[in-house]
Structure 1
Protein backbone atom coordinates (compact mmCIF):
# COMPACT_ATOMS: atom_id res chain seq x y z
CA UNK A 1 0.00 0.00 0.00
CA UNK A 2 1.36 3.40 -0.95
CA UNK A 3 2.03 6.16 1.56
CA UNK A 4 1.37 9.90 1.39
CA UNK A 5 4.12 12.52 1.78
CA UNK A 6 4.47 16.31 1.68
CA UNK A 7 7.50 18.54 1.21
CA UNK A 8 8.55 21.95 -0.12
CA UNK A 9 11.51 24.17 -0.90
CA UNK A 10 14.13 21.64 -1.95
CA UNK A 11 15.84 24.35 -4.04
CA UNK A 12 18.00 21.79 -5.82
CA UNK A 13 21.13 23.36 -7.31
CA UNK A 14 20.70 26.67 -5.49
CA UNK A 15 24.05 27.81 -4.12
CA UNK A 16 22.79 30.86 -2.19
CA UNK A 17 20.22 28.81 -0.25
CA UNK A 18 23.12 27.29 1.70
CA UNK A 19 23.90 30.70 3.20
CA UNK A 20 20.38 32.15 3.23
CA UNK A 21 18.91 29.22 5.16
CA UNK A 22 22.08 28.12 6.93
CA UNK A 23 21.86 24.68 5.33
CA UNK A 24 24.67 22.47 6.65
CA UNK A 25 26.07 21.35 3.30
CA UNK A 26 29.48 22.05 1.75
CA UNK A 27 28.17 22.75 -1.75
CA UNK A 28 24.96 22.71 -3.79
CA UNK A 29 26.04 19.38 -5.28
CA UNK A 30 26.53 17.85 -1.82
CA UNK A 31 23.16 19.26 -0.73
CA UNK A 32 21.45 17.82 -3.81
CA UNK A 33 22.87 14.33 -3.18
CA UNK A 34 21.88 14.35 0.50
CA UNK A 35 18.38 15.68 -0.22
CA UNK A 36 17.83 13.01 -2.90
CA UNK A 37 19.13 10.27 -0.58
CA UNK A 38 16.91 11.41 2.32
CA UNK A 39 13.88 11.67 0.04
CA UNK A 40 14.44 8.21 -1.43
CA UNK A 41 15.08 6.64 1.99
CA UNK A 42 11.53 7.61 3.04
CA UNK A 43 9.58 7.55 -0.21
CA UNK A 44 8.98 4.39 -2.27
CA UNK A 45 8.41 4.48 -6.05
CA UNK A 46 4.62 4.11 -5.75
CA UNK A 47 4.14 6.53 -2.85
CA UNK A 48 2.27 9.78 -3.43
CA UNK A 49 4.22 13.01 -2.87
CA UNK A 50 2.93 16.56 -2.91
CA UNK A 51 5.82 18.98 -3.45
CA UNK A 52 4.65 22.42 -2.38
CA UNK A 53 6.94 24.39 -4.61
CA UNK A 54 10.46 25.53 -5.37
CA UNK A 55 11.91 22.31 -6.73
CA UNK A 56 15.11 24.00 -7.90
CA UNK A 57 16.48 27.48 -8.38
CA UNK A 58 19.40 28.84 -10.38
CA UNK A 59 20.55 25.28 -10.97
CA UNK A 60 22.86 24.41 -13.83
CA UNK A 61 20.38 21.80 -15.03
CA UNK A 62 16.62 21.60 -15.52
CA UNK A 63 14.33 20.55 -12.66
CA UNK A 64 13.45 17.36 -14.57
CA UNK A 65 17.01 16.09 -13.97
CA UNK A 66 16.35 16.17 -10.21
CA UNK A 67 12.80 14.85 -10.50
CA UNK A 68 14.03 11.81 -12.46
CA UNK A 69 16.09 10.74 -9.46
CA UNK A 70 13.28 11.02 -6.89
CA UNK A 71 10.97 8.20 -5.84
CA UNK A 72 7.23 8.64 -5.77
CA UNK A 73 4.32 9.84 -7.83
CA UNK A 74 4.92 13.59 -7.59
CA UNK A 75 2.27 16.31 -7.69
CA UNK A 76 3.57 19.88 -7.77
CA UNK A 77 2.01 22.93 -6.19
CA UNK A 78 3.76 25.78 -8.02
CA UNK A 79 6.18 27.91 -6.01
CA UNK A 80 7.63 31.31 -6.79
CA UNK A 81 10.80 29.74 -8.21
CA UNK A 82 9.04 27.16 -10.40
CA UNK A 83 8.31 27.77 -14.08
CA UNK A 84 5.04 26.20 -15.16
CA UNK A 85 6.16 26.44 -18.79
CA UNK A 86 9.36 24.49 -18.12
CA UNK A 87 7.59 21.87 -15.98
CA UNK A 88 4.41 21.19 -17.98
CA UNK A 89 4.73 17.91 -19.80
CA UNK A 90 7.33 16.56 -17.37
CA UNK A 91 6.81 12.78 -17.24
CA UNK A 92 7.65 12.79 -13.51
CA UNK A 93 4.87 15.19 -12.50
CA UNK A 94 1.37 13.75 -12.16
CA UNK A 95 -0.19 17.22 -11.81
CA UNK A 96 0.70 20.90 -11.49
CA UNK A 97 -1.55 23.27 -9.49
CA UNK A 98 -1.41 26.69 -7.90
CA UNK A 99 -3.49 25.55 -4.94
CA UNK A 100 -5.10 22.18 -4.28
CA UNK A 101 -7.45 20.57 -1.79
CA UNK A 102 -7.20 16.89 -0.99
CA UNK A 103 -8.63 14.56 1.64
CA UNK A 104 -6.93 11.91 3.74
CA UNK A 105 -9.09 9.66 5.91
CA UNK A 106 -11.75 12.35 5.93
CA UNK A 107 -9.27 15.11 6.85
CA UNK A 108 -9.51 18.11 4.53
CA UNK A 109 -6.06 19.40 3.54
CA UNK A 110 -5.42 22.69 1.71
CA UNK A 111 -2.09 22.83 -0.13
CA UNK A 112 -0.41 26.04 -1.26
CA UNK A 113 3.20 27.14 -1.62
CA UNK A 114 2.42 30.27 0.38
CA UNK A 115 1.23 30.38 4.01
CA UNK A 116 -2.27 31.70 4.51
CA UNK A 117 -3.64 33.39 7.61
CA UNK A 118 -6.97 31.71 6.88
CA UNK A 119 -7.79 28.97 4.37
CA UNK A 120 -10.85 27.12 3.11
CA UNK A 121 -12.22 25.01 5.96
CA UNK A 122 -9.99 26.57 8.65
CA UNK A 123 -13.04 27.11 10.83
CA UNK A 124 -14.02 23.46 10.55
CA UNK A 125 -10.63 21.86 11.20
CA UNK A 126 -9.04 21.74 7.74
CA UNK A 127 -5.26 21.56 7.68
CA UNK A 128 -3.18 24.01 5.64
CA UNK A 129 0.22 22.81 4.46
CA UNK A 130 2.65 25.28 2.88
CA UNK A 131 6.29 26.06 2.14
CA UNK A 132 7.99 29.29 1.02
CA UNK A 133 9.06 30.58 4.44
CA UNK A 134 11.91 28.11 5.14
CA UNK A 135 11.00 27.60 8.79
CA UNK A 136 10.64 31.30 9.61
CA UNK A 137 7.14 30.78 11.03
CA UNK A 138 7.91 27.64 13.05
CA UNK A 139 7.79 29.58 16.32
CA UNK A 140 4.40 31.10 15.39
CA UNK A 141 2.11 28.17 14.51
CA UNK A 142 -1.39 29.18 13.47
CA UNK A 143 -3.99 26.53 14.19
CA UNK A 144 -3.80 23.56 11.87
CA UNK A 145 -1.26 25.10 9.49
CA UNK A 146 2.23 23.71 8.98
CA UNK A 147 5.35 24.58 7.01
CA UNK A 148 6.30 21.27 5.36
CA UNK A 149 9.49 22.67 3.85
CA UNK A 150 12.66 20.65 4.24
CA UNK A 151 14.34 23.36 6.33
CA UNK A 152 11.86 22.59 9.11
CA UNK A 153 11.93 18.80 8.86
CA UNK A 154 15.45 17.37 8.72
CA UNK A 155 15.74 17.93 4.95
CA UNK A 156 13.24 15.19 4.06
CA UNK A 157 9.57 14.82 3.11
CA UNK A 158 7.02 14.34 5.90
CA UNK A 159 4.64 11.38 5.94
CA UNK A 160 1.01 12.31 6.53
CA UNK A 161 1.12 10.35 9.79
CA UNK A 162 3.95 12.59 11.00
CA UNK A 163 1.85 15.63 10.14
CA UNK A 164 -1.16 14.16 11.94
CA UNK A 165 0.97 13.72 15.07
CA UNK A 166 2.06 17.37 14.90
CA UNK A 167 -1.49 18.59 14.32
CA UNK A 168 -2.71 16.55 17.30
CA UNK A 169 -0.61 18.84 19.53
CA UNK A 170 -2.16 22.03 18.11
CA UNK A 171 -5.12 24.06 19.25
CA UNK A 172 -7.78 24.43 16.59
CA UNK A 173 -7.44 28.24 16.76
CA UNK A 174 -10.44 28.94 14.52
CA UNK A 175 -13.94 28.52 15.89
CA UNK A 176 -14.68 26.66 19.08
Structure 2
Protein backbone atom coordinates (compact mmCIF):
# COMPACT_ATOMS: atom_id res chain seq x y z
CA UNK A 1 0.00 0.00 0.00
CA UNK A 2 1.50 3.32 -1.14
CA UNK A 3 0.71 6.88 -0.07
CA UNK A 4 0.02 9.63 -2.64
CA UNK A 5 -0.91 13.30 -2.65
CA UNK A 6 -2.56 15.47 -5.28
CA UNK A 7 -4.65 18.60 -5.63
CA UNK A 8 -6.49 20.85 -8.06
CA UNK A 9 -7.68 18.21 -10.51
CA UNK A 10 -10.67 20.47 -11.31
CA UNK A 11 -12.38 17.67 -13.24
CA UNK A 12 -14.93 19.08 -15.69
CA UNK A 13 -13.83 22.69 -15.17
CA UNK A 14 -13.29 24.61 -18.41
CA UNK A 15 -11.89 27.59 -16.48
CA UNK A 16 -8.65 25.76 -15.69
CA UNK A 17 -7.85 25.41 -19.38
CA UNK A 18 -7.72 29.18 -19.76
CA UNK A 19 -6.85 30.57 -16.35
CA UNK A 20 -4.02 28.14 -15.69
CA UNK A 21 -3.06 27.44 -19.31
CA UNK A 22 -3.31 23.68 -19.10
CA UNK A 23 -1.96 21.99 -22.24
CA UNK A 24 -5.16 20.24 -23.29
CA UNK A 25 -7.43 20.92 -26.26
CA UNK A 26 -10.63 20.31 -24.31
CA UNK A 27 -12.03 19.58 -20.87
CA UNK A 28 -12.68 15.98 -21.94
CA UNK A 29 -9.02 15.58 -22.94
CA UNK A 30 -7.86 17.11 -19.63
CA UNK A 31 -10.15 14.89 -17.57
CA UNK A 32 -9.11 11.76 -19.48
CA UNK A 33 -5.40 12.52 -19.03
CA UNK A 34 -5.65 13.24 -15.31
CA UNK A 35 -7.82 10.17 -14.74
CA UNK A 36 -5.44 7.93 -16.73
CA UNK A 37 -2.38 9.31 -14.91
CA UNK A 38 -4.09 8.77 -11.54
CA UNK A 39 -5.06 5.17 -12.27
CA UNK A 40 -1.67 4.35 -13.79
CA UNK A 41 0.05 5.37 -10.54
CA UNK A 42 -2.45 4.33 -7.89
CA UNK A 43 -3.54 0.79 -7.05
CA UNK A 44 -6.94 0.07 -5.49
CA UNK A 45 -5.52 -0.24 -1.94
CA UNK A 46 -3.23 2.81 -2.12
CA UNK A 47 -4.09 5.88 -0.05
CA UNK A 48 -4.61 9.21 -1.81
CA UNK A 49 -4.93 12.58 -0.12
CA UNK A 50 -6.61 15.08 -2.47
CA UNK A 51 -5.88 18.58 -1.18
CA UNK A 52 -8.88 20.29 -2.69
CA UNK A 53 -10.60 21.53 -5.82
CA UNK A 54 -11.72 18.11 -7.01
CA UNK A 55 -14.36 18.83 -9.66
CA UNK A 56 -16.56 21.54 -11.16
CA UNK A 57 -19.97 19.85 -10.88
CA UNK A 58 -20.82 18.39 -7.50
CA UNK A 59 -23.36 16.12 -9.18
CA UNK A 60 -20.49 14.31 -10.94
CA UNK A 61 -18.24 13.83 -7.89
CA UNK A 62 -19.43 10.34 -6.88
CA UNK A 63 -19.16 8.99 -10.44
CA UNK A 64 -15.63 10.40 -10.77
CA UNK A 65 -14.57 8.98 -7.42
CA UNK A 66 -15.84 5.55 -8.48
CA UNK A 67 -13.57 5.66 -11.56
CA UNK A 68 -10.43 6.62 -9.61
CA UNK A 69 -8.27 3.99 -7.89
CA UNK A 70 -7.33 4.18 -4.25
CA UNK A 71 -8.72 4.97 -0.84
CA UNK A 72 -9.45 8.68 -1.17
CA UNK A 73 -9.37 11.42 1.46
CA UNK A 74 -10.35 15.04 0.79
CA UNK A 75 -8.90 18.16 2.35
CA UNK A 76 -11.41 20.68 1.07
CA UNK A 77 -10.45 23.54 -1.21
CA UNK A 78 -12.23 26.74 -2.15
CA UNK A 79 -14.01 24.95 -5.02
CA UNK A 80 -15.31 22.00 -2.99
CA UNK A 81 -18.89 22.71 -1.88
CA UNK A 82 -20.67 20.53 0.67
CA UNK A 83 -22.11 18.35 -2.10
CA UNK A 84 -18.60 17.37 -3.27
CA UNK A 85 -17.52 16.68 0.31
CA UNK A 86 -20.60 14.52 0.88
CA UNK A 87 -20.17 12.47 -2.30
CA UNK A 88 -19.86 8.73 -1.83
CA UNK A 89 -16.26 7.64 -2.29
CA UNK A 90 -14.35 9.74 0.22
CA UNK A 91 -13.02 7.86 3.26
CA UNK A 92 -12.68 11.16 5.11
CA UNK A 93 -13.24 14.86 4.53
CA UNK A 94 -11.68 17.75 6.46
CA UNK A 95 -10.42 21.30 5.97
CA UNK A 96 -6.99 20.70 7.51
CA UNK A 97 -5.04 17.63 8.56
CA UNK A 98 -1.75 16.76 10.17
CA UNK A 99 -0.20 13.34 9.52
CA UNK A 100 3.03 11.83 10.72
CA UNK A 101 4.69 9.69 8.07
CA UNK A 102 8.10 8.08 8.67
CA UNK A 103 8.65 10.35 11.70
CA UNK A 104 7.95 13.46 9.57
CA UNK A 105 5.03 15.76 10.31
CA UNK A 106 2.98 16.63 7.23
CA UNK A 107 0.67 19.63 7.43
CA UNK A 108 -2.03 19.24 4.78
CA UNK A 109 -4.21 22.09 3.57
CA UNK A 110 -5.51 23.30 0.24
CA UNK A 111 -3.82 26.63 0.88
CA UNK A 112 -0.07 27.23 1.22
CA UNK A 113 0.96 28.67 4.57
CA UNK A 114 3.44 31.38 5.37
CA UNK A 115 4.23 29.43 8.54
CA UNK A 116 2.91 26.11 9.88
CA UNK A 117 3.10 23.79 12.85
CA UNK A 118 6.57 22.25 13.13
CA UNK A 119 7.96 24.35 10.28
CA UNK A 120 11.34 24.80 11.96
CA UNK A 121 11.45 21.17 13.11
CA UNK A 122 11.30 19.64 9.65
CA UNK A 123 7.53 19.51 9.10
CA UNK A 124 6.36 19.75 5.49
CA UNK A 125 3.44 21.88 4.34
CA UNK A 126 1.74 20.07 1.45
CA UNK A 127 -0.73 22.24 -0.44
CA UNK A 128 -2.44 23.00 -3.70
CA UNK A 129 -4.36 26.12 -4.74
CA UNK A 130 -1.48 27.98 -6.40
CA UNK A 131 -1.27 25.82 -9.56
CA UNK A 132 2.53 25.79 -9.48
CA UNK A 133 2.84 29.58 -9.48
CA UNK A 134 4.32 30.27 -6.03
CA UNK A 135 8.00 30.69 -5.38
CA UNK A 136 8.93 27.66 -3.27
CA UNK A 137 9.71 27.97 0.43
CA UNK A 138 11.82 25.39 2.27
CA UNK A 139 9.70 22.36 3.22
CA UNK A 140 6.60 23.73 1.46
CA UNK A 141 5.45 21.58 -1.46
CA UNK A 142 2.77 22.18 -4.07
CA UNK A 143 1.24 18.77 -4.80
CA UNK A 144 -1.26 20.14 -7.32
CA UNK A 145 -1.46 18.50 -10.73
CA UNK A 146 -0.24 21.66 -12.49
CA UNK A 147 3.06 21.38 -10.59
CA UNK A 148 3.28 17.57 -10.89
CA UNK A 149 2.83 16.73 -14.57
CA UNK A 150 -0.92 16.15 -14.04
CA UNK A 151 -0.44 13.13 -11.79
CA UNK A 152 -0.41 12.29 -8.06
CA UNK A 153 2.93 12.31 -6.27
CA UNK A 154 4.26 9.48 -4.09
CA UNK A 155 5.29 10.27 -0.51
CA UNK A 156 8.80 8.89 -1.13
CA UNK A 157 9.28 11.51 -3.86
CA UNK A 158 8.29 14.27 -1.45
CA UNK A 159 10.55 13.01 1.33
CA UNK A 160 13.60 12.53 -0.94
Q: What range describes the TM-score normalised by the shorter chain of this pair?
A: over 0.9
Contact 2:58–2:83 (CA under 8 A) maintained in structure 1: no
**1:8, 1:132 within 8 Å by CA — same for their partners in 2?**
yes
Q: Look up the match of 1:62.
A: 60
1:142 to 131, 134, 137: 137
Q: What is the CA distance between 1:85 and its match in structure 2?
A: 3.9
Count residues with an aligned counterpart. 160
Alignment of 1:162 with 2:157, yes or no, is yes
Q: Could you tell me which residue of structure 1 aligns to residue 45 of structure 2?
A: 46
CA distance in 2, matches of 1:28, 1:92: 22
SS of corresponding position for 2:69: coil
Unaligned runs of 5+ in 2: none
The aligned counterpart of 2:130 is 133
Structure 1: runs of 5 or more not aligned: 166-176
Q: Following TM superposition, by how much is the alpha carbon of 1:53 offset from its aligned partner in structure 2, in angstroms?
A: 0.1
Contact 2:124–2:140 (CA under 8 A) maintained in structure 1: yes
**Which of residues 78, 92, 97 is equivalent to 2:94?**
97
Q: 1:86 to 1:37 in 2, by over 3 A?
A: closer
Q: TM-score, normalised by structure 1?
A: 0.87
Q: CA RMSD in A?
A: 1.2
TM-score (norm 2): 0.96
Cα distance in 2 between the residues matched to 1:91 and 1:65:
9
Is the contact between residue 13 and residue 60 of structure 1 (CA under 8 Å) also seen in structure 2? no
Note closer, same or farther for the CA distance 1:5–1:25 as it changes in structure 2 (3 Å cut): same
Structure 1: how far apart are the matches of 2:75 and 2:141?
A: 15
Larger Rg: 1
Q: Distance in 2 between matches of 1:63 and 1:80?
A: 15
